[in-house]
Amino acid sequence: MARTFVWLLLLLNVVYGAWAQGWLLPYGFGPTSQREPQRLARQIRPEAITVLPAAEAYRRPAPTPPEPRVCLQSGLLDQAQVDAVRRILETSWSPEDWQLQEVMRPERWLVYMGKFTNQAELDKKRAELVAIQVSAESLQQASLSPGLSLGAYPSLAQANTALQALSRRGVRTARVLQEQADVQGLRLRLPAVTAALQAQLPDIRAVLPSAVLESCP
């Protein structure tokens, strides 16, 4: 028994010595190298790294922030406006800086009161509506003014439902009419207007007097 123990101890010493010397590394066994050459191999151009004094680092200029840009778009344009603005954009703007997008302007129905013969008659009717707690807005379109809108709706059915509800509240002379029909057309979109491009916007606004350029939603 003692002899077996001695031989076993000797064998363990031999195995440990081979492991410590790295003789078993080809078989996947061995101590971890303290020099870690594999870490150096993973570094990307370590010789290019420069450690700067704190004072010099503070003197370095901060990175330039990106130039601010805004997105603008118009409402629906008629064909004359499309032709005029296209001539300007094709002459002085890059193709990636502007778009003419196809859009559909949906129909719109009003619960309407009017036309009144004068402003005094409109004010009298508005006062009657206020008395029964019905809100109304004056209309600016020449074909409807002086007149009042008691609500705008995307369909005839919704406008008729609103009119019936108003009738139950005492509104007697209102009616439903179509303010605008479905219209398909083009709108101008400027997706990334820089300060340099903003200087050219007056030329575009000059040929689109009735189309306001607003921020994109």
| Fold: same for 70-104+185-215 and 108-180 | yes
Q: Which residue has the tokens 């709108």?
A: 187
* Among the four given CATH numbers 3.30.1890, 2.60.40, 3.30.70, 3.40.50, the one describing domain 70-104+185-215: 3.30.70
Q: What are the tens digits of pLDDT across the range 13-54?
A: 666 666 566 665 666 555 655 555 556 556 566 666 766 666
What is the H or E stretch that residue 215 is in? strand 214-215
Q: Average per-residue pLDDT in the chain?
A: 83
| Nearest-angstrom CA–CA distance, 209 and 186 | 16
Looking at domain 108-180, does it have CATH number 1.10.10?
A: no
d(CA 158, CA 4): 101
- Contact assessment for residue 105 and residue 182, using Cβ atoms and an 8 Å cutoff: yes
pLDDT tens for each residue of 94-126:
999 999 999 888 899 999 999 999 999 999 999
Q: What are the residue ranges spanned by the domains of the chain? A: 70-104+185-215, 108-180
